[in-house]
Structure 1
């Protein structure tokens, strides 16, 4: 057997390289980019809070053997700040959005910024996958960016169905600034804006209630269900109901992709605020995303 054939057999037998993609959004991006060309381990499961993640033994093992670690950056996962690994660590959102003076980690709520995260992830993965896989990686990256571009246009069209006076997003915390800037929505994160040190005092409750009533919103949006005691109290005092569905602020909805989570967030906001949402096109976008190979 010739040397070239031996090299081919060795390469064929080699296991795919290991990548750790820390949070859910990046995990979906990474898996969509690499398909079977790398083994991807995710540390923050869908629906979990990345801000409060605690590393398990299996997480530390995955980090110790990874050849590349992708993190969102902007301190989305503080637990990662204390970890030292031998593999390169790439803060994808920081590279994708260097002009982010507030250092808001939730950049993926703007599909255009998500597209930049896809490009930066592909750039980080290219040396790991090698020249033989570069073409497929680039094709997937371009296909994903095309879907995200359509997502941006679709989202804008849905949001236009909401009466302008009701294009206000009332949440507990400031996690949707990228979304609000992209689509011209007023963001009202009541705890961050009115509660000193995160403590809800009676005076704060009164100011929050007035601000909500004056905002024009038809709903208050929770980040999880059941809503927190604080949010229920705010709803009771303001007289504005909590939306029936949550908005997923910190990652993916359980069992859902990036596209499914994004379209669900848009539809939750739009329908609660008196607009109409095109579910058929949302499903078509997800089918395009899932079909990327």
Structure 2
């Protein structure tokens, strides 16, 4: 092959190589933007609103469902504003799992307006709610039902039944996974009770940013002594509200109060400073599990982390949670 022929050969390969590289890059880009992997299209398409429900659903559904969680760890469901991509996800769903009791008002509104033929299951509403007084005679159901591990077990069984209805052929697998998870939750429930009992009785009082721990308090014998805002983080506390909470904290004499991971801690820090009291070094997980790799990146780990934070800050003696197989 002479020099001219070699030159032409190199020239001819250039457009072919360019097309190949373009296809390669395009293929990589498409793979990154589309969460659906080959083979998952035939699996039931399940959408969960909150991170807590998504975690429980993944435990029960395992590899037999294609799960999409709308909210990301650390996102506040009370004030979340849906984006167009959320509507598309909901429209493609076979089953939508949401908390209910108006925990995620923006997503509930979008879900009810979206097209598609998805079944809808309000997982939190299988639990009989506590009724909270918002003032001026308005009583509303408290949506934070997962605060009790026993309630979480009830939610797991509801998720199991929803998945079985969607895909009866996988009944055995859903049932077995749910049985294992509810057994772990039963152990967790007993462990939390034991941990709270190590706190001196006078210190078993919880002051937090918003009213998300009523179920936890009722289940484990710790009083909710005060909150900066009510059950929804949409509320904005007044200067008078802050002053009342400061006065209340001084009166009850708890050793620490608590911030939360999904809410800006600035105001509760101000309360702690004005009351002359310690703000616990770790924030509580309230409406969301933690980011992957954190000490609260699953429901069970979240409950363990919260209990450790509460026990250590209020003068108890913490013993790590260990599952017994």
Structure 1-normalised TM-score? 0.85
Q: Check conservation: 2:226, 2:248, Cα contact below 8 A.
A: no
Question: 2:44 aligned to 1, 7, 17, which one?
Answer: 17
Residue 87 (structure 1) aligned with residue 118 (structure 2): yes
Please give the alpha-carbon distance, in whole angstroms, between the structure 2 residues aligned to 1:146 and 1:104: 26
* 1:108-187 correspondence to structure 2 within 5 Å: 108-130=146-168, 132-187=169-224
* 1:255-270 correspondence to structure 2 within 5 Å: 255=292, 256-270=297-311
**CA displacement 1:21-49 (0-9 Å, x = unmatched):** 11111001110111111100001111111
Cα 1:138/1:198, change in 2 over 3 Å: same
Cα 1:31/1:226, change in 2 over 3 Å: closer
Cα 1:51/1:99, change in 2 over 3 Å: closer
Cα 1:257/1:13, change in 2 over 3 Å: closer
| Structure 1 residue 277, shift from structure 2 partner | 1.2
Indicate the RMSD between aligned Cα atoms, in angstroms: 2.1
Rg larger in 1 or in 2? 2
Structure 2-normalised TM-score? 0.77
Corresponding residue number in structure 2 for 1:60: 87
Cα 1:272/1:89, change in 2 over 3 Å: same
Q: Check conservation: 2:228, 2:268, Cα contact below 8 A.
A: no
Structure 2, unaligned runs of 5 or more: 1-38, 133-140
Task: Give the stretch that moved more between structures: 98-107 or 239-248.
Answer: 98-107
Q: SS at the partner of 1:152?
A: helix
Number of aligned residues = 267
Residue 73 (structure 1) aligned with residue 100 (structure 2): yes
More strand, by proportion: 2
| Structure 1 residue 188, shift from structure 2 partner | 2.5
Residue 271 (structure 1) aligned with residue 278 (structure 2): no
Corresponding residue number in structure 2 for 1:50: 77
Question: 2:131 aligned to 78, 85, 101, which one?
Answer: 101
Q: List structure 1 runs of 4+ shifted beyond 4 angstroms.
A: none
